[in-house]
Structure 1
Amino acid sequence: MIWRIGLLALLAWLLGFVWFAGWLPEPAPMERTDAVIVPTGSAGRIGRGLEVVQTDSADTLLVTGVDPEVKPAEFAEEFKVPDKVMECCVTLGFAATDTRGNAQETREWTEANGVKSLRLVTSDWHMRRAAAELRRELPGDVKLIEDAVRSEPSFWMLFVEYHKWLVSRSVGPLFS
């Protein structure tokens, strides 16, 4: 009897991992939002966030989880952000150190700026957990569009992220 329960649990875990790794979230079509949120991390995220702002698909951009050592001028130079865009439209958030912190920093920023719709830009492998953490923090009336940046994650990265996502879903804010 116990072996059957163990076998069912293993099968559920395996099927869940196949789904998680085999059907990663996709990029979203352009749709206007008040803001775009980009947690720092793997390549392509910040570039996509800047593209959204510079094509007037969002008014403003929050890059959350920026290293406190980074100066706005350094950021602008590295990502080739025009001064005009940097001044009007880009906020660097230095408070977050993990995915849960990104969600908390985003909630505080959206509340302070009256944001009612936002686009979350993050890697395809990170989107499910980042969106879940963000939904847990945001008020229910804030519209969230998930805009995944395609990547080529390793098996190990998917394996680790799958387990972080499972833990995040099962125990919520305790771990992330």
Structure 2
Amino acid sequence: MSKGSRPRRRNSRLGTMLVVFVLGLFAIDFLLFARRAATMKPDPAMQGDAIVALTGGSGLRIAEGVRLVSEGRGGHLLISGVHPDVTMDDLMTLAGGDPEVWACCVTIGHAAETTLGNADETAAWAYENGYHDLILVTSDYHMARSLLVLQDAMPDITLEPWPVRTVIDPSHLFTDFKSLKGVFLEWAKWRVTTLE
């Protein structure tokens, strides 16, 4: 065996160990992210000037936003990120709620297509209406990135998180592939956002 082969083999082992170590750190970071999402609970006493619900996945986020405004937790609800072809009647059918609440207290935002778009749409609406304290309704696994992105767009407005458990469930990573995939993709986006 040549003397030159030993350092190469040692370097190869060190490289493999480093890769395994980094992958282990990523796995731990992902699991901690999922655990935080799975254990998030809204403050039952929460109140705000208004409420914003981010669309996505199902009507559960929207239904929760309508419920909160019906309870008087905020004076008005913005549903951000609604597809341009979707009407208020479509949303009422999807999410339910009192038609009078929809008529008086719900604004539909059609401009946003991404979380960054949600942030821009929400900031414009909040500043135009003079709101200072918003309840943010989105999925529990989507909340961490949403708070970062929306707070960056409106740093002088307080955001109160109201996480919703939706079809992607961070507490069922190992029994539901759809949840594992959805939470993993959101973790990757969140981690990139924290590094920007």
TM-score range, shorter chain: 0.7 to 0.9
Residue of 150, 159, 171 corresponding to 1:144: 159
Amino-acid identity (%): 34
Q: Does 1:13 align with 2:29?
A: no
Counterpart position of 1:96: 112
Q: In structure 2, do the counterparts of structure 1 residues 68 and 6 end up closer, same or farther at CA, with 3 Å as the change threshold?
A: same
Residue of 110, 123, 129 corresponding to 2:126: 110
Q: Does 1:169 align with 2:182?
A: no
Letter in 1 for 2:125: W
Decide whether the 8 Å contact of 1:42 with 1:123 is kept in 2: no
Query: Superposition RMSD on alpha carbons, in Å?
Result: 1.8
Counterpart position of 1:71: 87
1:61 Cα deviation after fit? 0.2
Letter in 2 for 1:89: C
Once the two structures are superposed, residues 45-83 of structure 1 have per-residue CA deviations (whole angstroms, 9 ceiling, x without a partner) of 111101110001110000000011112233234433434
Structure with bigger gyration radius: 2
Counterpart position of 1:39: 54
Could you state the TM-score of these two structures normalised by the residue count of structure 2?
A: 0.79
Residue of 45, 48, 69 corresponding to 2:64: 48
Whose strand fraction is larger, Structure 1's or Structure 2's? 1
Whose helix fraction is larger, Structure 1's or Structure 2's? 2
Q: Does 1:27 align with 2:12?
A: no
Decide whether the 8 Å contact of 1:26 with 1:148 is kept in 2: yes
1:86 Cα deviation after fit? 1.9
Decide whether the 8 Å contact of 2:132 with 2:158 is kept in 1: yes
Task: Give secondary structure in 1 for the equivalent of 2:79.
Answer: strand
Q: Which runs of 5+ in 2 are unaligned?
A: 1-13, 171-178
Q: Does 1:121 align with 2:137?
A: yes
Q: Matches of 1:101 and 1:167 in 2, distance apart?
A: 17
1:146 Cα deviation after fit? 0.6
Once the two structures are superposed, residues 108-132 of structure 1 have per-residue CA deviations (whole angstroms, 9 ceiling, x without a partner) of 1101110100111111111111111
Aligned residue pairs total 170
1:3 Cα deviation after fit? 5.2
1:139 Cα deviation after fit? 2.8
Q: Matches of 2:123 and 2:19 in 1, distance apart?
A: 39
Q: Matches of 2:99 and 2:181 in 1, distance apart?
A: 39
Q: Which runs of 5+ in 1 are unaligned?
A: 172-176
